[in-house]
Amino acid sequence: MKNYKIAVIEGDGIGKEVVSEGIRVLEAAGRGFDLSFSWERFDWSCERYAKTGRMMPEDGLDQLRPFDAIYLGAVGYPGVPDHVSLWGLLIPIRRAFQQYVCVRPARLLKGITSPLSGRKAGDIDFIIVRENNEGEYSEVGGRMNRDTEFDMAIQQSIFTRRGCDRIITWAFELARTRKKHVTSATKSNGIVYSMPFWDERFAAIAKKYPDVKTDQYHIDILTAHFVAHPDWFDVVVGSNLFGDILSDLGAAVVGSMGLAPSANINPEREFPSTFEPVHGSAPDIAGKGIANPIAQIWSGAMMLEHLGEKQAARAIEQAIFKVLAHSDIRTRDIGGRASTRDVGEVIAAEVSSVA
């Protein structure tokens, strides 16, 4: 029996509730596919920050390094500034472990109503590939003249050739396994250095993939096309910020933030990769047991896929699809009354029955 060592960071808010259901479903998959998991929980969170002044201990990254993967819930809670919580936990993990590919599927599933009229299951099925290590999320910049009338802030975007080429290449390779179409998110009319550079790198990499159709849109019209023509897209590649914004929009058009999984991948496998839902900690519904756990559960399937457990990953995905298509056990964001736990249990039972 294969055993995987998984670091679990539930984090904040609904992270604690949805991660339990993700583990329940992964355990069911483990029983069915002869896998076992050694879960080690880390209480790294805003709560910990309030007690100790740090989101994670100083040697936190060293503690995570030996794991096969990291399964994370959500980060951020009122009382701790969002940039402190994010830069104290998630961003250092993504960077230190060279998780430069962030994969965020958006798929309209049977049994889910899109807010876009006339769209049915299968009409929307694209994957956002977000650059995850540089771009607009940079530590280069500063503040001057704080609390005076000359107060100012500078934030420098970082676009390297290596960073652009590796994420764009990854997107093209993914497209070759799908509908062979890559769309680039740009803004090279207004952002005069980094975005024309991004476009240049996109064009250079595209030349190596003559079998893959390409297009590019400025981010403003691209967001409009996501709403008006979501069926146009297959793989959409974007910078750190653009990819982040597009993935929330992608989640919205396929019915709920609660249905959007994600994977932060270190393709070279030199370090563990992190699997987390796109959504945040949702303090407004935290502790009520009503959060949708499907994004977290689906992120668990992405984790198994990355670990090479493809059959088990497929079983979890199929269980999610079946429950959404045929059961009314669903949380209120998608029109039901069920609890987080009810949904986790029904998906786990379905995984057990197919395994």
Vertex 94, ends 93 and 98: CA angle to 5°?
110
Residues 143, 148, 150, 151, CA torsion sign: positive
Contact range with ligand GGG by CB under 6 A, out of 20-28, 54-62, 68-76, 138-146: 68-76
Among residues 35 and 280, whose Cβ is nearest to ligand GGG? 280
Binding flag, residue 234, ligand GGG (CB under 6 A): no
Q: Is the CB of 105 or the CB of 277 nearer to ligand GGG?
A: 277
Residue 244 is a binding residue for ligand GGG (CB under 6 A): yes
Residues 99-138 that bind ligand GGG (CB under 6 A): none
Segment contacting ligand GGG by CB under 6 A, of 51-59, 72-80, 149-157, 252-260: 72-80
Q: Considering only residues 45, 188, 274, 281, which one is a binding residue for ligand GGG as defined by CB under 6 A?
A: 281
- CA–CA gap between residue 110 and residue 6 (Å, rounded): 31
Which region among 206-214, 272-280, 282-290, 341-349 touches ligand GGG (by CB under 6 A)?
Answer: 272-280
Under rule CB under 6 A, residue 86 binds ligand GGG: yes
Separation of CA 225 from chain center:
21
Euclidean distance between CA atoms 236 and 229, whole angstroms: 13
Distance (Å, rounded) from C-alpha 179 to C-alpha 327?
30
The answer to whether residue 243 forms part of the interface with ligand GGG (CB under 6 A) is no
E strand or H helix at 8: strand 2-11
CB of 322 to ligand GGG, least distance (A): 25
Give, in degrees to the nearest 5, the angle at Cα 112 between 111 and 115: 150
Our measurement of the distance from residue 170's CA atom to the centroid of its chain's CA atoms, rounded to an integer in Å, reads: 16
Nearer to ligand GGG, 35 or 90 (CB): 90
Q: Does 10 bind ligand GGG (CB under 6 A)?
A: no
Tokens of 349: 């039972």
Segments of 27-147 assigned E as strands: 35-42, 69-74, 101-107, 125-131, 141-144
Stretch that binds ligand GGG, among 46-54, 74-82, 121-129, 178-186 (CB under 6 A): 74-82
For ligand GGG, the binding residues (CB under 6 A) are 74-76, 86, 244, 276-277, 279-281
